[in-house]
Structure 1
Amino acid sequence: MLSAFGRAFRTPDLRRKLLFTLAIITIFRLGAFIPSPGVSYQNVQQCLQNGQTTGGIYQLVNLFSGGALLQVSIFALGIMPYITSSIIVQLLRVVIPRFQQLYDEGASGQSKLTQYTRYLTIALGLLNATTLVSLARSGQLLPNCQLPIIPDTSIITTILIIITLTAGTGLIMWMGELVTEKGVGNGMSLLIFTSIAAGFPTSLGAIWKAQGPGTFFMVLVIGLLTVALVVFVEQSQRRIPVQYAKRMIGRRTVGGTSTYIPIKVNMAGVVPVIFASSMLYLPGLISQFNQPKPGESMAPWVEWINNNLTRGDHPIYMALYFAMIVFFTYFYVAITFNP
Structure 2
Amino acid sequence: MKNFIQTLKNIWSIEELRSRILTTLALLLVFRIGSYIVLPGIDAQALAAANEGGGGLAGLLNLFTGGAFNRASIFSLGIMPYISASIIMQLMGIAVPTIQKMQKEGASGQKKINQYTRFLTIVITGFQAPGYIAASVPESARLYDTPFWWVTVIVILTSGTLFVMWLGERITDRGVGNGISLLIMIGIIAGLPGAFFQEVIASLGSEGNGLVMLLIELIALLVVIAATVALVQAVRRVPIQFPKRQVGNRQYSEGARQYIPLKVNSAGVMPIIFAQAIMFVPLYIAQYSESSSGFFVELANFAGFWYNAIFFVMVVAFTYFYTAITVNPNQMADDLKRNGGFIPGVKPGRSTADFLDTVLSRITLPGAIFLGFIAILPVFAMQAGVKQAFSIFFGGTSLLIMVGVILDTLQQIESYLLMRHYDGLMKTGKLAGRASTFGMAG
Q: Structure 2-normalised TM-score? A: 0.66
Using a 3 Å threshold, how does the CA distance of structure 1 residues 250 and 185 change in structure 2: closer, same or farther?
same
Partner of 1:233: 231
**CA distance in structure 2 between the aligned counterparts of 1:303 and 1:90, rounded to whole angstroms:** 31
Q: In the alignment, which of 288, 294, 305 is matched to residue 303 of structure 1?
A: 294
**CA distance in structure 1 between the aligned counterparts of 2:10 and 2:285, rounded to whole angstroms:** 52
Per-residue CA shift, 1:280-309, capped at 9, x if unaligned? 3323432322215xxxxx6xxx43543x42
Asked whether the 8 Å contact 1:207–1:215 carries over to 2, the reply is no
Cα RMSD of the aligned pairs, angstroms, is: 2.4
* Superposition deviation, residue 216 in structure 1: 4.1
Using a 3 Å threshold, how does the CA distance of structure 1 residues 187 and 330 change in structure 2: closer, same or farther?
same
Residue 87 of structure 2 aligns with an amino acid whose one-letter code is I
Are 1:19 and 2:19 counterparts? no
Tell which deviates more after alignment, 271-280 or 81-90.
271-280
Gaps of 5+ in 2: 205-210, 330-442
**CA distance in structure 1 between the aligned counterparts of 2:231 and 2:165, rounded to whole angstroms:** 28
Identity %: 39
Tell which deviates more after alignment, 166-175 or 240-249.
240-249
Partner of 2:41: 38
Partner of 2:8: 5
Partner of 1:194: 186
* Superposition deviation, residue 47 in structure 1: 2.9
**CA distance in structure 2 between the aligned counterparts of 1:92 and 1:263, rounded to whole angstroms:** 27
* Superposition deviation, residue 195 in structure 1: 0.6
Are 1:93 and 2:60 counterparts? no
* Superposition deviation, residue 126 in structure 1: 1.9
**Mapping of residues 203-242 of structure 1, within 5 Å:** 203-212=195-204, 213-242=211-240
Tell which deviates more after alignment, 78-87 or 164-173.
78-87
Using a 3 Å threshold, how does the CA distance of structure 1 residues 286 and 187 change in structure 2: closer, same or farther?
same
Using a 3 Å threshold, how does the CA distance of structure 1 residues 260 and 100 change in structure 2: closer, same or farther?
farther
**CA distance in structure 1 between the aligned counterparts of 2:268 and 2:237, rounded to whole angstroms:** 18
- SS of the aligned residue for 1:133 comes to helix
Q: Structure 1-normalised TM-score? A: 0.85
Per-residue CA shift, 1:70-126, capped at 9, x if unaligned? 111001011111222222222221112222222222222222222222222222222
Gaps of 5+ in 1: 140-146, 293-297
Partner of 2:84: 84
Per-residue CA shift, 1:187-219, capped at 9, x if unaligned? 111111101111101111110111124444443
Per-residue CA shift, 1:236-276, capped at 9, x if unaligned? 22222222234657766567565222222111222222232
- SS of the aligned residue for 1:263 comes to strand
Tell which deviates more after alignment, 59-68 or 4-13.
4-13
- SS of the aligned residue for 1:240 comes to strand
Asked whether the 8 Å contact 2:23–2:175 carries over to 1, the reply is yes
